Structure 1
């Protein structure tokens, strides 16, 4: 599948339960990016819809569940707390901006960011505000005449900048701190209990990537195309690694995976990287065939799994060498991050499909579940059931920004899945651009 025309031109001149499927880490800190491998047995595709909850905005945020409640943020500006069994609303918390960050839980506090420029701490029991921290402002990446699109004098928001940085909690002794990036180019550490600033680290561009903590270090990348390794307690720089800066192929949107002394991540520069975790030196890189990698990787049994943009794939790479073991083809851009339970890997794509793959089949055995919108609209929006920019744009000029925006709005109607699934109590939860939080029973 081809990129929007403008990118083609640029190339020439992106737990807490005892159930069979539950969060693996039983600690009191829980977030969508620290560990995407859940307990489970065998192959467990989606079985039946348990319930779905409608919000009034697209959902890019990833859900999280604990103690019978699943939490999700929406573009309508609300954080929702939904009963896991019934799908009924427990409470909701209003912000003054879209919530594109995912969530972290620590004790009885949930943390998240909003495009109103605040990062919030809210009581999970009643939805009451505990504190909020004001950044220098949150915004989508943008510039005049972005990427050479027309008209050259128009300010343009990046149509593929989907997420805000998601907060993660770092606990040391009796203290705990919340770490997150910001559109104001800083990485922040604030007290988890009161929101007071501990330290901040200045980068050279907006930071919409999510920090990952490992062995008292945090790893996070941003729109300056640099991956940073910082001391978690002090914010002191340990090392940094620069990815490519070619127009249209600059920036890091994914979070890293850390495994066996290496840091793994993808970037808009069309490569997937493995670095030495101590030094930041390149160990290997995988050529993603001019495809952005916005998906965050998941690792199991020395295989790293990650979604790709324009090659429409879930890749399985050898962690030691970067050799491709196999790829599973999806129907469109694959920006959702994969999660694993037992021998099953789950991932969503931009056309509104959620795939369940049997890991023991090397991608040959799979099932898919589609959003209702996709089932109804695929024949009119997709070409041969595949995402095709030119077809959906009705052959309009995709070097013009507004035509790209109209094309993206059409894709969103399918119920694009950019949300990373979460598994709890034999149920998988994920959000969609159709505004729904879905809860599906998993095959036991």
Structure 2
């Protein structure tokens, strides 16, 4: 925890790729978040919004006219892309904080009920389920010195479960995902049978990223790993720092031009040689966690931060900061890019589109309805302020921190990451809605 508990941080998570897929191609989490587009395309009108009965922390994906997303209400939803009408929903016995991947008309995702599922993408019928040793929030006794010291406390900023990604090799396919039990699992994508597992020392809630025959991921043990996709054997590993309040890797990685980028709580953004794991550069995030997954375009890396409320634009080769765009709260929503526009949300319920050619000066903001309703009582000068919401409460008490988080969620916090399809952008919110906005069409 930060000094005097006056500032806390949060987790991010999620999932993108391009829109043009055949049914046999795979939409993987975090592999490609640059979509077709031209020029600056701000959001225009709300096309529709779809209500679930729980907070949405997972991120949507869309294919063949259907948008898929999970909710804390325990359901995984398939929604018509054009109308926002429910096509089907699949019930689990736990919150669905995992985003999904699609391959060969099968949608893959995990639930806090301890299972990872493969479901028919068209009908919502279960194909198989794989039982882990249990899914749970990362927890510690007396976390960060909070009271009571003997209480097992769930990390209030650990929102997500790992998203399965599909590795395809000739005629076989593996669904690969992390688990709260500390294992990275690889199962047969068709029948769910275990092919290999790799044991770490703590929960894995980040989403693995595939590049050629290597899978990259980090976990709550603060170690970043590179494994062979076929065998699960370790190629190399890289340790980040462990210290109170600044421990763990929650962000998923990005691989670009032979470099693997990832953020950690320690708090740095790292650029490592993808083959060797050697450090190329690291960026000091000024005591802000980096939980957002980076995206790279035109040799510029874009990533969100926590307490500095920034979307950073860094030189991808050197890590030198080019500029930063200031949000109103923690930025854990991983950005997506279409043309010259980058899209992302913040923890106060604002969703931004930013002109990449403006050096952070031209942008548009869409707030949630709840943000408009509660901003006056929850935000200080329109900014997130942990101390302001506590109103002299004892922040060394875990229960008081839980109360603050509940107040923040009323704003419709956006930690879900956007997905773009057919000139529509989709994202989820802690207000329980999946939003669909039209983008301005280029002339």
Q: Same fold (TM over 0.5)?
A: yes
Whole-Å Cα distance in 2 between the matches of residues 98 and 209 of structure 1?
16
Match of 2:108 among 92, 107, 111: 111
Match of 2:363 among 363, 366, 372: 366
Whole-Å Cα distance in 2 between the matches of residues 92 and 149 of structure 1?
39
* 1:388-431 Cα shifts (integer Å, max 9, x gaps): 00111112111111111000000000000000100001100000
Q: Which residue does the alignment assign to 2:203?
A: 206
* 1:259-309 Cα shifts (integer Å, max 9, x gaps): 111110100011110001111011100010000011000010011100000
- For the pair 1:408 / 2:405, whether they are aligned, the reply is yes
Q: How much does 1:89 deviate?
A: 0.5
Q: Which residue does the alignment assign to 1:357?
A: 354
Match of 1:217 among 211, 214, 217: 214
1:225-304 correspondence to structure 2 within 5 Å: 225-304=222-301
SS class of match (2:377)? helix
SS class of match (1:351)? coil
Question: What is the total number of aligned residue pairs between the two structures?
Answer: 434
Q: Which residue does the alignment assign to 2:122?
A: 125
Q: Which residue does the alignment assign to 1:6?
A: 5
Whole-Å Cα distance in 2 between the matches of residues 3 and 350 of structure 1?
18
- For the pair 1:101 / 2:104, whether they are aligned, the reply is no
The answer as to whether partners of 1:219 and 1:228 remain within 8 angstroms in 2 is yes
The answer as to whether partners of 1:44 and 1:344 remain within 8 angstroms in 2 is yes
* 1:346-388 Cα shifts (integer Å, max 9, x gaps): 0100000010000001111100100000011101110011000
Whole-Å Cα distance in 2 between the matches of residues 79 and 368 of structure 1?
28
Whole-Å Cα distance in 2 between the matches of residues 388 and 23 of structure 1?
38
1:393-432 correspondence to structure 2 within 5 Å: 393-432=390-429
SS class of match (2:293)? coil
Q: How much does 1:144 deviate?
A: 1.2
Whole-Å Cα distance in 1 between the matches of residues 68 and 4 of structure 2?
38
Q: How much does 1:228 deviate?
A: 0.3
Match of 1:173 among 170, 173, 177: 170
Change (3 A) 1:340 1:4: farther
- For the pair 1:193 / 2:190, whether they are aligned, the reply is yes
* Runs of 5+ unmatched residues, structure 1: 15-20
- For the pair 1:74 / 2:41, whether they are aligned, the reply is no
Whole-Å Cα distance in 1 between the matches of residues 412 and 379 of structure 2?
13
Whole-Å Cα distance in 1 between the matches of residues 134 and 161 of structure 2?
11
Whole-Å Cα distance in 1 between the matches of residues 5 and 141 of structure 2?
15
* Runs of 5+ unmatched residues, structure 2: 12-16
Change (3 A) 1:334 1:436: same
The answer as to whether partners of 1:133 and 1:195 remain within 8 angstroms in 2 is yes
Change (3 A) 1:198 1:28: same
1:337-348 correspondence to structure 2 within 5 Å: 337-348=334-345
Q: Which residue does the alignment assign to 2:14?
A: none
TM-score by length of 2: 0.96
* 1:218-277 Cα shifts (integer Å, max 9, x gaps): 000000000000000000000000001011101000111111111101000111100011
- For the pair 1:34 / 2:31, whether they are aligned, the reply is yes
- For the pair 1:23 / 2:22, whether they are aligned, the reply is no
Q: How much does 1:319 deviate?
A: 0.7
The answer as to whether partners of 1:212 and 1:256 remain within 8 angstroms in 2 is yes
SS class of match (2:57)? coil
Change (3 A) 1:116 1:383: same
TM-score by length of 1: 0.96
Match of 2:303 among 301, 306, 323: 306
Q: Which residue does the alignment assign to 1:18?
A: none
* 1:159-182 Cα shifts (integer Å, max 9, x gaps): 000110110000000000100000
Whole-Å Cα distance in 1 between the matches of residues 8 and 212 of structure 2?
43
The answer as to whether partners of 1:24 and 1:37 remain within 8 angstroms in 2 is no
Q: CA RMSD in A?
A: 1.6
Whole-Å Cα distance in 2 between the matches of residues 9 and 36 of structure 1?
28
Q: Which residue does the alignment assign to 2:430?
A: 433
Whole-Å Cα distance in 1 between the matches of residues 73 and 237 of structure 2?
36
Q: How much does 1:32 deviate?
A: 3.5
Whole-Å Cα distance in 1 between the matches of residues 312 and 240 of structure 2?
20
Q: How much does 1:57 deviate?
A: 0.3
Q: How much does 1:23 deviate?
A: 2.1
